[in-house]
């Protein structure tokens, strides 16, 4: 078996993930390489979810009975865990949403309804990049259409990096918000935050970072990032679906208006008007995803027990190995950086003229799960002149043996359609 420096003890880790023992298609061992879409869930998180429903289930912040108090403590305890995980200065800066898309939509809508100096209107500009997931494109298109603001973006270089050569023309005095992805879900690129944040701060623009593909895989420190908002989602980091996070700087959350109205987010309500609860509750209308937040807290405990720096080192070693092996496959073209430097563990590629759906289907017959398509980042496919890609993405339980299985599988695909 291939040994690489920096690898985690995957034999032990894999025992925590019951699903990784599954056999598919007449007894083939599952090789799960679709972690950028969603990660698998460790027993430790499943147990916490079970226990929540078996022992503590109640609505939060309203009952005076035992269960309501326990559920509230667990839900708010999860907020503390998230805050510590991302080094937030205050727990009140952590807003629970249902996913990263909702987090990003929330930012766009806060700014759309805001007063000066945050207000986005026809005199102002919004900046994104060509490598964004649709969830960090469409909310800004909607905001631009509704306010008349101009939407601008950074293009991409041929090797899958942001083209920042015209940064001073793209981020200008008119820019109100710059929103970009920390690690691309399709290219794997890790973006240079500092250069973008520096320019945004120069012109007084806010910065929103989509950390959906970063928070699960590397230490994320919101203070070091110097962003104003950071969004990510629970189900890509060993947590359940239905729970996302928006972190925002406290003074912004105090100033900016709520988006969704309803229970939980108010202070007082009359038939004429209402006043709002302080953040984060101001942005959490209605019964929140309580069990899911508690599950995310358990996922963070699990990741902390391993150590995010170790997860990063593991994936870096594996990515280095996977890039090297993929480049040995004839007719294979990596879409994105072709080294492991400044990149995450999602690897997109094309294989000659074979359509990614065919690649994915034949790999599936071998028990290998990859993602095929445009990965909700269609502008990237357009930029590189391809209809779609096949994407393999790794996590803390992925092994060099699984990389080898992928390479063998691709050889099989080539023979099958060759």
Partner 1 sequence: MYQEVILDHYKNPHGRGLRDGDAEVHHVNPTCGDEITLRVKYEGTTISDVSYEGQGCSISQASASVLNDLLVGKDLAEAQRIQETFLELMQSKGRVEPDEEMEEVLEDAVAFAGVSKYPARVKCALLSWMAWKDATAQALQDAGAEPGRTTA
For residue 381, state whether it binds partner 1 (rule: CB under 8 A): yes
Instruction: Using the rule CB under 8 A, give the single segment among 41-49, 251-259, 267-275, 350-358 that binds partner 1.
Output: 350-358
* Active site amino acids: 376
For residue 412, state whether it binds partner 1 (rule: CB under 8 A): no
For residue 25, state whether it binds partner 1 (rule: CB under 8 A): no
For residue 134, state whether it binds partner 1 (rule: CB under 8 A): no
Alpha-carbon distance of 335 to 347, in angstroms, equals: 8
Q: What angle (nearest 5°) sits at the alpha carbon of residue 268, between those of residues 267 and 272?
A: 135
For residue 417, state whether it binds partner 1 (rule: CB under 8 A): yes
For residue 373, state whether it binds partner 1 (rule: CB under 8 A): yes
Instruction: Using the rule CB under 8 A, give the single segment among 135-143, 211-219, 302-310, 358-366 that binds partner 1.
Output: 358-366
CA-closest candidate to residue 71, choices 43, 98, 94, 49:
49
For residue 255, state whether it binds partner 1 (rule: CB under 8 A): no
For residue 38, state whether it binds partner 1 (rule: CB under 8 A): no
Nearer to partner 1, 91 or 355 (CB): 355
For residue 357, state whether it binds partner 1 (rule: CB under 8 A): yes
31's enclosing H/E stretch is strand 31-32
Indicate the burial class of 117 (C-beta count within 10 angstroms; 0-12, 13-18, 19 or more).
exposed
- Please state the closest distance from residue 347 (CB atom) to partner 1, in A: 19
For residue 374, state whether it binds partner 1 (rule: CB under 8 A): yes
For residue 355, state whether it binds partner 1 (rule: CB under 8 A): yes
Nearer to partner 1, 42 or 367 (CB): 367
When binding is defined by CB under 8 A, the residue of 318, 388, 396, 410 that contacts partner 1 is 388
- Please state the closest distance from residue 356 (CB atom) to partner 1, in A: 8
CA-closest candidate to residue 243, choices 382, 414, 48, 54:
48
Pairing of strands 244-248, 94-97: antiparallel
Q: How far from 402 is each of 31, 185, 325, 388, 391, CA to CA, in Å?
A: 6, 20, 12, 23, 14
When binding is defined by CB under 8 A, the residue of 18, 192, 387, 401 that contacts partner 1 is 387
Instruction: Using the rule CB under 8 A, give the single segment among 47-55, 56-64, 326-334, 380-388 that binds partner 1.
Output: 380-388
Coil, strand, or helix at residue 177?
strand
- Please state the closest distance from residue 242 (CB atom) to partner 1, in A: 23
- Please state the closest distance from residue 414 (CB atom) to partner 1, in A: 13
Pairing of strands 94-97, 274-276: unpaired
Q: In what order do the strands lie in the sheet with 206-210?
A: 94-97, 244-248, 229-233, 206-210, 175-181, 125-129, 150-154
Print burial letters for 123-143: b (CB count within 10 Å at least 16), e (below 16). ebbbbbbbbbbebbbbbbeeb
- Please state the closest distance from residue 355 (CB atom) to partner 1, in A: 4
Nearer to partner 1, 152 or 374 (CB): 374
Neighbour tally for 264: CB within 10 Å = 18
Residue 254 C-beta-side C-alpha neighbours within 13 Å: 5
Chain contacts with partner 1 (rule: CB under 8 A): 355-358, 361-362, 372-374, 381, 387-388, 416-417
């Amino acid at each position: 078996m291939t040994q690489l420096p920096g690898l985690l003890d995957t034999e032990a880790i894999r025992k925590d993930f019951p699903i990784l023992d599954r056999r598919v298609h007449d007894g083939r061992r599952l090789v799960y390489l679709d972690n950028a879409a969603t990660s698998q869930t460790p027993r430790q998180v499943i147990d916490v979810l079970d226990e929540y429903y078996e022992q503590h289930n109640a609505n939060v912040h309203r009952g005076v009975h035992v269960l309501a108090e326990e559920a509230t403590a667990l839900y708010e305890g999860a907020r503390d865990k998230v805050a510590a995980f991302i080094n937030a200065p205050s727990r009140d800066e952590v807003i629970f949403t249902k996913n990263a898309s909702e987090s990003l939509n929330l930012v766009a809508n806060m700014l759309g309804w805001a007063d000066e100096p945050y207000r986005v209107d026809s005199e102002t500009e919004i900046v994104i990049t060509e490598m964004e997931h649709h969830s960090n494109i469409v909310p800004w298109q909607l905001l631009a259409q509704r306010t008349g603001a101009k939407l601008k973006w950074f293009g991409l270089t041929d090797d899958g990096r942001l083209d920042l050569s015209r940064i001073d023309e793209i981020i200008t005095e008119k820019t109100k918000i710059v929103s970009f992805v920390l690690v691309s879900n399709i290219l794997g690129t890790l973006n240079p935050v500092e250069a973008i944040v520096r320019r945004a701060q120069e012109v007084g623009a806010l910065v929103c970072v989509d950390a959906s593909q970063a928070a699960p895989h590397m230490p994320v420190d919101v203070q070091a990032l110097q962003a104003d908002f950071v969004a990510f989602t629970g189900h890509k980091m060993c947590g359940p679906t239905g729970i996302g996070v928006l972190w925002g700087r406290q003074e912004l959350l105090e100033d900016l208006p709520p988006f969704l109205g309803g229970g939980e987010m108010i202070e007082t309500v009359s038939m004429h008007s209402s006043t709002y609860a302080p953040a984060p509750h101001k942005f959490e209308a209605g019964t929140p995803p309580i069990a899911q937040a508690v599950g995310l807290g358990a996922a963070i405990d699990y990741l902390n027990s391993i150590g995010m720096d170790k997860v990063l080192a593991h994936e870096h070693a594996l990515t280095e190995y996977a890039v090297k092996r993929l480049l040995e496959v004839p007719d294979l073209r990596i879409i994105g950086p072709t080294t492991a430097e400044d990149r995450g563990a999602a690897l997109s590629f094309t294989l000659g003229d074979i359509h990614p759906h065919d690649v994915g289907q034949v790999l599936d017959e071998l028990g290998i799960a990859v993602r095929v398509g445009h990965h909700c980042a269609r502008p990237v496919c357009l930029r590189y002149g391809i209809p779609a890609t096949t994407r393999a993405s790794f996590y803390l339980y992925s092994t060099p043996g699984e990389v080898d299985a992928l390479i063998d599988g691709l050889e099989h695909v080539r023979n099958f359609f060759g």
